[in-house]
Structure 1
């Protein structure tokens, strides 16, 4: 049942657990059908007295705050979350001092908690995660980072306790609607935690497991699948989590809902169907006007759709929209815009009326800090843009294609031979210009290595593996000549390892990828590469070992 066409809502005169879950479910469907204001209006009257109304209301405001990064939205979200925690706390089981101490020695028995108290634990845990998220982005210091981490740890422990309670409750009141709703909440929480933690590199995961976290991917997926099929309030959230992970079979949320349109477009993009993706992203923009942040997600993807096809004028249009409308990362948006303009011919650049050098010079002043740390991609953009800070700027070589690689775009372009061939032509043109440069700058070796690495990627995706290998080895042989872009060596080792994996030489592949992992540090986007390395080595562990 869907509520996207409902204009008038029944307002309950008093609120019990079942009614609150039903109204929260109605609000969730309104959100998924782009009716955000209506959802808030439905939840607001009871958000001081009902844990589910409070949780739904704070969830919408928290989501808005994380999308806008506006200080007023973050403050409003944080204030609402604090009120929601207080509301949930009123429904949680109150322990005496003796009971609190004894609870450390044994878990609660199923019959010691009322239905409202069980649900209050789940709602409280979910709200703690919201507060942790806003804590990370509200203050730019390590203390806030630690506070957020403690809230996540507390939330996870509550979920584990609820899972223990759920296991003890099997066959005891398990047929009630309240119990099924509680079970759905546990599966969403435990499943999401296990799935997301399993994506972390092994060394980080081992540390987190030492302090009590669990990152079992298959268990997480199975919990989310069970939750998705439970017909509970949170079943749709389980489905969306699975969609976020690997585009799992979707529940029908409304054929023109912006979230489903976005996922449909993203799937088309990942398959290399850029034309279909563009249509879907544009449709996603047109179906609702309330949340501009969803538009910004689409603009980002549309910018890349056009960049993959080297339609630089169209890509520039969306980069410019992001610069003017979105506050997520001005430094990245301005750098991306300048990089795209750098790919245009002189005539197109002149008609845009933009000052490319001026844009690059803006980037450093736009850098921000989140949770007390700089954003790695922003740091990379700032470092690259410094070539324009001198009185005589040194132009970047194919900067938009370099950023395409940073955002893993070559994997997507590689699905299309025509687009890959077109990129190769552009890269070879840059290669020739560098070769014929009469006055090479101090950046010349770095630029040559960048061009060779990107050329190797194109050749690899086109199946010309021997030529690709030569490009990669040329980069590695130039390691001592590189002065600034030291990231090129570990990234090239990683790409060469993937090439050997493609050839079936798993031992050699592992050796090169391990080399990148163990022997290089303190380079740009190091953590990003370690995530890729973690995934590659995990897949190699499941591969047959070839004979020497």
Structure 2
């Protein structure tokens, strides 16, 4: 591991530096809360190689993403462009060198090195284009979106080409020894390749990379370098597949027309391969897998309604990586996420608090920890602790002060501080900035309704339970807390939110496995006509919930699929429509996969 490598100082001779190993060490430093040390290491060696230049640019980019400060984003942009220019300027010479070597059929060793360097630079260029696209998207301007999309398309083409070339070279290197020596046991790299799968159907046939000398197989060092490069490209390749697979279904056809694939399993396999490699992006691939298993999968219900799916994988990753990252605030954060999903809320609060302390110089990591502390407090119905966490986010975070103000207000009102809640809910309108953001629009509408004429403890409590439902956190609540929620909801008599009340009661009963009561409440919610204007999502979500219950029963599965399609096709223009469509798409795909062939 890179953590065992003696740190290299700026005074060392360049030819003594293993840049791949040093880059991995720098990333490991960063993840163990050594942000400054990592930055210093990469800056000291950024002119040594394209890889170290990219490492320095990546740290600069990460710093910009953690602060959203304009000056740092501009610095990151310039650093990434400098790395991109460095790689592009050397690529042409490398390709010409390869051609010359092939023509002369001499010096195979140098030809291999030149080819590996070319692949490394192309992967780095693609990485730079992805991060430049992210910086463009942050501007939230039409021209920036167009530019960002163009950069992503360029990056995908390069990832796809490099992935195909490296796979072709690996397969060629694995076949030739068996041709010459008869049957041979598979190498570790071949086993990894088998687990990763073949090049996907939507990938063009691999373009043969220039093999330096016909019939020659790369030596062990070159094979290891290919494995590392496969890990390097698999990070970007896998993220593309994974992220595109989560695009709302109605946008998926457009995205696919632009040339982006979206195979979730292929993406996960590529990230798993990358996470086990010796490339500097291996730790980042590990974090991406943890993010998927503990945040994305349970939130979007990508494997049905089971929020426990993926927890075993996440726990295994954390257990194996703990010796390498003993002081990592990020790994401690994901440990808390696992504990929260397991319903171990007190343990999760401890982990998030520890992560908060470890991230003393990393404000954005502190903020995600505070966010989770607020959520765990809501799950425990500890409204005072919850609103204090969200209040700090409202003051410090630059992400969505409007949303944090809403969470602060409803938790403060649920705690009984109605005057404080009224003041904060009034702030929501002032902090509302992103008119196309669904969460902020929802927060604004709800805040306006709650504060006119004035907030009440019951309706603020209803609002907290509603948020727990919409963010799929009811499954993390203990039975006593769920029963307390039922009592709160049953005491609410406001006719304008009768449908919402029944939807939430149905969801709680479903969580408690009271199927009959759940269906009854969902059906009452779906029939509510009075509150459908102010709570527009209640009817389609109720229809979806009934469908989910029916899909759990083989004899009612067909009726469940029909209701699922009804929820998808008969309703439009409601809050969190895309979110529900993703869940419906996943549920229908799951039923098709389980159907007998």
TM-score (ref. length: structure 1) = 0.86
Q: Is the contact between residue 243 and residue 262 of structure 2 (CA under 8 Å) also seen in structure 1?
A: yes
Inter-partner Cα distance in structure 1 for 2:481 and 2:15: 58
Inter-partner Cα distance in structure 1 for 2:4 and 2:422: 48
Alpha-carbon offset, residue 12 of structure 1: 5.3
1:224-256 CA distance string (max 9 Å, x none): 223333333333233222222225432423233
1:457 aligns with 2:504: no
1:225 aligns with 2:272: yes
Inter-partner Cα distance in structure 1 for 2:283 and 2:238: 14
Alpha-carbon offset, residue 455 of structure 1: 0.7
1:405 aligns with 2:456: no
The residue that corresponds to 2:584 in the other structure is 533
Inter-partner Cα distance in structure 1 for 2:113 and 2:55: 27
Inter-partner Cα distance in structure 1 for 2:33 and 2:433: 31
The residue that corresponds to 1:324 in the other structure is 395
Aligned length: 508
3-state SS in 2 of match to 1:21: helix
Query: Among 218, 230, 235, which residue is 1:173 paired with?
Result: 218
Inter-partner Cα distance in structure 1 for 2:5 and 2:344: 33
Inter-partner Cα distance in structure 2 for 1:145 and 1:21: 33
Q: Is the contact between residue 167 and residue 230 of structure 2 (CA under 8 Å) also seen in structure 1?
A: no
Quickly say closer, same or farther: Cα 1:42–1:111, change in 2 above 3 A.
closer
Q: Is the contact between residue 4 and residue 29 of structure 1 (CA under 8 Å) also seen in structure 2?
A: no
Quickly say closer, same or farther: Cα 1:367–1:54, change in 2 above 3 A.
farther
The residue that corresponds to 1:441 in the other structure is none
Quickly say closer, same or farther: Cα 1:510–1:94, change in 2 above 3 A.
farther
Inter-partner Cα distance in structure 2 for 1:44 and 1:214: 36
Inter-partner Cα distance in structure 2 for 1:46 and 1:112: 21
Quickly say closer, same or farther: Cα 1:202–1:492, change in 2 above 3 A.
same
Alpha-carbon offset, residue 393 of structure 1: 4.2
Inter-partner Cα distance in structure 1 for 2:569 and 2:273: 39
The residue that corresponds to 2:87 in the other structure is 88
Query: Please, which runs of 5 or more residues in structure 2 have no aligned partner?
Result: 99-110, 174-216, 294-312
The residue that corresponds to 1:494 in the other structure is 544
Quickly say closer, same or farther: Cα 1:408–1:316, change in 2 above 3 A.
same
The residue that corresponds to 1:478 in the other structure is 528
1:114 aligns with 2:115: yes
Alpha-carbon offset, residue 2 of structure 1: 5.3
Q: Is the contact between residue 547 and residue 563 of structure 2 (CA under 8 Å) also seen in structure 1?
A: yes
1:418-447 CA distance string (max 9 Å, x none): 2221222222222xx43xxxxxxxxx33x1
The alignment's C-alpha RMSD in Å is 2.7
Inter-partner Cα distance in structure 2 for 1:189 and 1:544: 33
Q: Is the contact between residue 332 and residue 377 of structure 1 (CA under 8 Å) also seen in structure 2?
A: yes
The residue that corresponds to 1:385 in the other structure is 447
Inter-partner Cα distance in structure 1 for 2:333 and 2:4: 18
Quickly say closer, same or farther: Cα 1:474–1:21, change in 2 above 3 A.
same
1:519 aligns with 2:570: yes
Q: How does 1:37-186 map to 2 (within 5 A)?
A: 37-48=36-47, 50-93=49-92, 114-137=115-138, 139-170=139-170, 171=173, 172-173=217-218, 175=220, 176=222, 177-186=224-233
Q: Is the contact between residue 94 and residue 114 of structure 2 (CA under 8 Å) also seen in structure 1?
A: no
The residue that corresponds to 1:438 in the other structure is none
1:65-119 CA distance string (max 9 Å, x none): 223333333223223222222222233235999x9xxxxxxxxxx9695322211
Inter-partner Cα distance in structure 2 for 1:302 and 1:273: 13
1:417 aligns with 2:479: yes
Q: Is the contact between residue 5 and residue 25 of structure 2 (CA under 8 Å) also seen in structure 1?
A: no
Inter-partner Cα distance in structure 2 for 1:512 and 1:471: 16
Alpha-carbon offset, residue 11 of structure 1: 2.5
Alpha-carbon offset, residue 544 of structure 1: 4.2
Inter-partner Cα distance in structure 2 for 1:4 and 1:428: 60
1:215 aligns with 2:262: yes
Alpha-carbon offset, residue 462 of structure 1: 1.2
The residue that corresponds to 2:103 in the other structure is none
Q: Is the contact between residue 33 and residue 327 of structure 2 (CA under 8 Å) also seen in structure 1?
A: no
With 59-68 and 462-471 compared, the bigger mean Cα shift is at 59-68
Q: How does 1:20-35 map to 2 (within 5 A)?
A: 20-35=19-34
3-state SS in 1 of match to 2:359: coil
The residue that corresponds to 1:375 in the other structure is 437
Quickly say closer, same or farther: Cα 1:200–1:483, change in 2 above 3 A.
closer
Inter-partner Cα distance in structure 2 for 1:75 and 1:456: 50
1:363 aligns with 2:443: no
Quickly say closer, same or farther: Cα 1:367–1:113, change in 2 above 3 A.
farther
Inter-partner Cα distance in structure 2 for 1:244 and 1:264: 11
Inter-partner Cα distance in structure 2 for 1:308 and 1:314: 11
3-state SS in 2 of match to 1:232: coil
Alpha-carbon offset, residue 459 of structure 1: 0.9
Quickly say closer, same or farther: Cα 1:12–1:168, change in 2 above 3 A.
farther
Alpha-carbon offset, residue 43 of structure 1: 0.8
1:53-72 CA distance string (max 9 Å, x none): 22212222222322333333
Inter-partner Cα distance in structure 2 for 1:388 and 1:305: 23
Q: Is the contact between residue 48 and residue 83 of structure 1 (CA under 8 Å) also seen in structure 2?
A: no
Q: How does 1:224-263 map to 2 (within 5 A)?
A: 224-246=271-293, 247-248=313-314, 249-250=316-317, 251-252=320-321, 253-263=324-334
Q: Is the contact between residue 493 and residue 515 of structure 1 (CA under 8 Å) also seen in structure 2?
A: yes
The residue that corresponds to 1:440 in the other structure is none
1:192 aligns with 2:242: no
Alpha-carbon offset, residue 174 of structure 1: 6.8
1:488-517 CA distance string (max 9 Å, x none): 111111111112123442212211221111
Inter-partner Cα distance in structure 1 for 2:19 and 2:2: 17
Query: Among 534, 542, 546, which residue is 2:593 paired with?
Result: 542
Query: Among 286, 295, 300, which residue is 2:366 paired with?
Result: 295
3-state SS in 2 of match to 1:93: helix
Q: Is the contact between residue 18 and residue 178 of structure 1 (CA under 8 Å) also seen in structure 2?
A: no
3-state SS in 1 of match to 2:552: helix
The residue that corresponds to 2:186 in the other structure is none
Q: Is the contact between residue 30 and residue 38 of structure 2 (CA under 8 Å) also seen in structure 1?
A: yes
With 219-228 and 452-461 compared, the bigger mean Cα shift is at 219-228
Inter-partner Cα distance in structure 2 for 1:474 and 1:362: 34
